[in-house]
Chains A and B, each alone.
Chain A
Amino acid sequence: MSSNPIVCAEGVVKRFGRLEVLKGVTLDVHAGETVCIIGPSGSGKTTFIRCINHLEKIDGGRIEVNGHLIGYREKNGKLVEDTENNIARQRCEIGMVFQRFNLFPHMTALENVIEAPVRVRKASKHEAVREAEALLERVGLADKRDVYPGKLSGGQQQRVAIARALAMKPALMLFDEPTSALDPETIGEVLQAMKELAEAGMTMIVVTHEMGFAREAADRVVMMDDGCVIEEGTPEHFFAAPSHERTKQFLSKIL
């Protein structure tokens, strides 16, 4: 594992009204690492990764990706929110896969994948199509390039969504419970695609309830509860001998 951190989150605080959802989350993720975040619902896992690409504003702390402060600029020692265009540029480096896929329903699988490279990266259409075809091939959906999302299964849609995020050549991929909305029989194909991606050296943060995936594919497992990281470690340590009482309880309930 190399030592340069891709993600550097420091004391991240997030409030929804009076409710404090993140109470100072600190986490470093290194290049090529796959980190799984687990924890009970309401623990702030999803909110935390949404902060990493600034889909949520933060109320305290700071997040850096690739050495760049995300969503904010430093002005006289204070953080002020960055401009829409700068934030958009930073998001190009951060791919995200959503629980509910969020494919664009008015575009075919291929059009979904080439949309951002062509419109945002200003890639030539020809080039973008070539790369998109390669990505669809990689997730096993080369034959679905001209199909609209409405005619794809959940698992297929999620794999297109992974290809769509990869098309921007991100340095980091965020997965927000990518298999929670899937039928049991299609979960495997999505996890397989994610495993291959992890093995290929992508830096990934995965919020998941799939303990099997965490055990096999993660370099590190992070347990969150009530807005805090309460324990982290290698999967071997984590599943065999968790040290925190809350982690033991949680694992005993879901394993």
Chain B
Amino acid sequence: MIAAFEWHIFWDRIFHPDHVFAQALWRTIYIAVAAQFFGVVLGLVSALMRMSKILPLRILGGLYVLVVRGTPVIVQIFFIYFGANLFLGFDLFPRTIGFGLFSLSGAVVAGIVALSINEGAYMSEIVRAGIDSVDKGQMEAARSLGMPQRLAMRRIVLPQAARVIVPPLGNEFNNMLKTTSLLAFIGVYELFLDADIHYSATFKPSEYFAAVAFWYLVLTVVWSVIQAWIEGRLAASERADRLSFWERVRSAWAPVPDRLWSRGGAR
């Protein structure tokens, strides 16, 4: 028999979130932000490694991307958290780890590390595509003015690559917000584990999982608004056709012909 959907449970999870839930929500957010941040850093470093003149750096960067993109995230999370114990017999991540002003549980830190490493491999591809998209003449012009390669990369190429990198970066963060749910499997108390625990106690899967899905949706919608704002800011300096925030939102929902031919689409 199919159990009836108990709406009051669903509404309760949405309109009266308890304190434990709020903490889980906050944990999801800061894990995603931290992992994305370190993922971007790793992506930038590995992209530059893969473009290096030095062969071993190129190989190292290439292997990193190959292995990480070729294996499941959940496996990576398990190996990072339990790997040291399984292979070497010690715990890499103690129960709690202090960072001066705050401390985090070992599982949270392991989760951030694993998701950062995973994210870095995807960001590496995105950063490299961004750098490739910048006209070769830009680097030549910079070097003809006496700028060493590093300075030219930092001042001339990367700022232009950023415009190409930001939209897919937004996509990646959207993904990241949801991928944090996998950390439930190493005991990080985030949104999904919160829902899972309520389900175990009540055997009401549909209500609790629908509610947690709703909260992920809230997170990603808020993020897409922030993303539209950031992209607008980035485009503003160069484009003659400045779009207002609402024009950007509208153009994202416009039917295809409109998007291709309106001010928003054509470049």
Contact = CB atoms under 8 A, between A and B. Distances in A.
Interface of A: 53, 55, 84-85, 88-89, 91-92, 94-96, 98, 100, 102-106, 115-116, 119-121, 148, 150-151, 161, 164-165, 168
A98 B138 CA distance: 10
29 contacts: A55-B143, A84-B149, A88-B143, A88-B147, A88-B148, A89-B146, A92-B146, A95-B144, A98-B140, A98-B141, A100-B137, A102-B137, A102-B138, A102-B140, A103-B141, A104-B141, A106-B237, A115-B145, A115-B155, A115-B156, A116-B147, A119-B155, A120-B147, A150-B239, A151-B240, A161-B141, A164-B145, A165-B144, A168-B146
B132 interface: no
Contacts of B160: 104-106
Contacts of A84: 148-149
- Most chain B Cβ neighbours within 10 Å, of A89, A106, A150: A106
A165 B138 contact: no
B238 interface: yes
Contacts of B237: 106, 148
B74 to A, nearest CB: 40
A165 B239 contact: no
B143 A91 contact: yes
Contacts of A102: 135, 137-138, 140-141
Interface residues of B, number: 22
The 8 A-B pairs with the shortest beta carbon distances in the complex, nearest first, are A92-B146, A102-B141, A116-B145, A102-B137, A96-B144, A88-B148, A91-B146, A120-B146
B138 A91 contact: no
Contacts of B144: 53, 55, 91, 94-96, 98, 165
A85 B147 CA distance: 8
Given A120-B147, A150-B238, A168-B146, 11 more contacts: A91-B145, A91-B146, A92-B146, A94-B144, A98-B144, A115-B145, A120-B145, A150-B240, A151-B240, A165-B144, A165-B145
Contacts of B149: 84
Contacts of B148: 84-85, 88
Contacts of B146: 88-89, 91-92, 116, 120-121, 168
Interface string B20-60: 00000000000000000000000000000000000000000
A91 B238 CA distance: 28
